[in-house]
A and B are shown apart, each in its own frame.
Chain A
Amino acid sequence: MSAEQEPTFDLAIVGAGPAGMAAAAMAAELKLSTVVLDEQPEPGGQIYRGIERMAASRPRHLEVLGPDYAAGLELTRAFRASAIEYRNGTQVWQAEPAGRIFFRRNGAAGIVRAKKILIAPGAMERPLPVPGWTLPGVLTCGAGQTVLKAHGLAPKGRFVLAGCGPLLLLLAAQLTRCGIKPAAILQTTFNRWAAAPHLPSFLGTPGYLIKGLGLLRELKAAGIPLYANVSQIAIQGETQARAVEFVCNGTTRTIEADTVFLHQGVIPNGNLAWSMNLDHRWDDVQRCYHPKLDAWGRSSNAAVLVAGDAGGIVGAKGAELMGHIAAAAAAVDLGRLGAEQASERTRDARRALNKQRAARPFLDHLYRPEQRWIAPPDADTIVCRCEEVRAGEIRKLVSEQNCPGPNQLKSFVRCGMGPCQGRLCGLTAIELIAETRGVPVSEVGYYRIRPPIKPVTIGDLATLDVPERNDAVHM
């Protein structure tokens, strides 16, 4: 069948995490013909990764991971029960706002068409570039949690967690509940005074504070050493992590570790939104860019909506609510639901979302990384993991060769041009440039992200069944 003959969906959703799943369920309720494309083999996104298999084959691990994870089962069931087309294992490499989405599935390329596109690619972890962070044995806390959830894997030997944010403590607690205790937790950032003014609205979101304090108590009771306010973290090892060196209270310490989990909060997984040329704004508290959205998730492009953490970090519950609301907005824009009806149907969700959002400023300020953790002071620290570009090199190019921004950095040293396409170095690169130039980060801009946003081979392209027409000829 030629791609031309495929039906045009009302709505294409990219991502099957909480935002994408909730959007799909709502879209189905509103009778929109909907396709969901997701690169993982199962629904759930990163937060509910592997939840269906775990519930079926190792229910005891559900207890270990806690009620917030188990809560994803209900949403996953609602998603599975919805009348939508779900394509798993599908990597989207280009989405055109005009309605064509190119993807790769089972080793072949394909296209779907849709009148509206709702992107929900979720979050990724903010890089924590420290000396030695590219060594085998160094992973993100998210990776540690992913393999625990999806595969029942836990680190062998001694391990350390370093950085800041709720996930750092949560992973430590989850592993401890399995009887696998970290050798130490190194906390980099904890701005209690900057966060204090935002405490009242944080307390308005039930459960958050109790959960946080509960984790700390649990780790303390298990006797896990927590070093606060550490600096100068460096991971040692030749071909594999062997130890972590750090400074705490003026004393340099070294802890042996075969595995190190790094984390300093999450940021929008932004390459899809950037590649669609959506307008972005710099958030100086979260220290990352967000696509500009209205209250319903509509982006600067009339055909594109964004839901979940990709639109600015809101957490799993917030993402689910955003998905629900954005699907209603898509139905309104398609003329399938009245604006007033949409307001009514989403009233509770919008109220609940405001509550979730109210908790963010406290967390954002509490864990807002200091300059030294986002613009590595040590010249030898790798910034761009793919092309092996170091912090000192970037500073030198900016100060001595007047390299003004991240795109010029590409031409000088290929920074951001490896297979990850700047995902892991983008924020570090712009922070380093801004710091060296002495200007605000928002003035430095970001990499120009172009499709394909996932690697595609010429062979893949050859499997694409596109009509024999080339618009470029007529231009």
Chain B
Amino acid sequence: MFKLLPDSPSERITVHVDGQAVSVPPGFTAAAAMLLHGTGSTRTTPVTGEPRAPYCMMGVCFECLLQIDGEPNQQGCLVTVAEGMRIERQLGKRKVDE
């Protein structure tokens, strides 16, 4: 859905989006990484399973909820990426750990 502008710095780090290694500039947020490398939805809603994706990118809409390094319900637009970070789409409701 999005692309990097030509004058962007060349430094990159590796994160994993749904298990696939992708490279993003340092300083990116997890939601920005999804905009660059994801296609379509980044979660489905708990109510009817509708597809959703980042909407406000500033922390108010909660559409970019992702599972990050195993922890569900993270606001992807507020989490800065780190080398090796595992970012996963969040499908439907979260389950309570047993």
Q: Tell me the A residues contacting B by CB distance below 8 Å.
A: 39-41, 46, 50, 53, 57-58, 60-61, 89, 91, 107, 124-125, 134-140, 142-143, 146-148, 150-157, 178, 239-240, 258-259, 269, 385-388, 418-420, 423-424, 455
B47 engages A387 (CB within 8 Å): yes
> Could you tell me the dominant secondary structure of chain A's interface residues?
loop
Q: How far is the CB of B54 from chain A (nearest CB, A)?
A: 7
Question: 8 smallest A-B Cβ distances: which pairs?
Answer: A136-B53, A143-B57, A419-B62, A152-B8, A153-B2, A420-B62, A146-B57, A156-B3
In the complex, the chain B residue whose C-beta lies closest to that of A45 is B58
Q: How far is the CB of B6 from chain A (nearest CB, A)?
A: 8
User: Beta-carbon contacts of B61-87 to A below 8 Å, as 1s and 0s?
Assistant: 111010000010100001010000000
Which listed residue, A58, A91, A418, touches B62 by the CB 8 Å rule? A418
A208 to B58, CA, bound (A): 26
Q: Please report which residues of chain B, range 1-21, place their CB below 8 angstroms from some CB of chain A when the two chains form the complex.
A: 1-5, 7-9
B78 engages A40 (CB within 8 Å): yes
Q: With A57-B9, A240-B40 in contact, is A154–B3 under 8 Å at CB? A: yes
In the complex, the chain B residue whose C-beta lies closest to that of A125 is B56
Q: How far is the CB of B33 from chain A (nearest CB, A)?
A: 9
Q: With A53-B27, A60-B7, A388-B45 in contact, is A419–B57 under 8 Å at CB? A: no
A46 engages B5 (CB within 8 Å): no
Residues in chain B near residue A89, CB distance under 8 A: 78, 80
In the complex, the chain A residue whose C-beta lies closest to that of B51 is A239
Q: How far is the CB of B69 from chain A (nearest CB, A)?
A: 10
Residues in chain B near residue A124, CB distance under 8 A: 56, 58, 60
Which listed residue, A139, A155, A420, touches B54 by the CB 8 Å rule? A139
B9 engages A140 (CB within 8 Å): no
B9 engages A58 (CB within 8 Å): yes
> Could you tell me the dominant secondary structure of chain B's interface residues?
loop
Q: How far is the CB of B66 from chain A (nearest CB, A)?
A: 12
A58 engages B8 (CB within 8 Å): yes
A20 to B6, CA, bound (A): 33
Q: With A139-B55, A153-B32, A420-B62 in contact, is A239–B25 under 8 Å at CB? A: no
A41 engages B80 (CB within 8 Å): yes
B52 engages A136 (CB within 8 Å): yes
In the complex, the chain A residue whose C-beta lies closest to that of B74 is A455
User: Beta-carbon contacts of B25-45 to A below 8 Å, as 1s and 0s?
Assistant: 101110010011000111001
Which listed residue, B27, B36, B54, B61, touches A424 by the CB 8 Å rule? B61
Q: How far is the CB of B29 from chain A (nearest CB, A)?
A: 8
Q: How far is the CB of A404 from chain B (nearest CB, A)?
A: 25
Which listed residue, B5, B8, B35, B47, touches A388 by the CB 8 Å rule? B47
Residues in chain A near residue B40, CB distance under 8 A: 136-137, 239-240
Q: How far is the CB of A59 from chain B (nearest CB, A)?
A: 9
A-B contacts, 25 of them at CB < 8 A, read: A41-B80, A50-B27, A58-B5, A124-B58, A137-B53, A139-B54, A139-B56, A142-B56, A143-B57, A146-B57, A147-B32, A148-B5, A151-B29, A152-B5, A152-B8, A153-B3, A153-B32, A155-B2, A156-B1, A239-B40, A239-B41, A385-B55, A388-B48, A423-B60, A424-B60
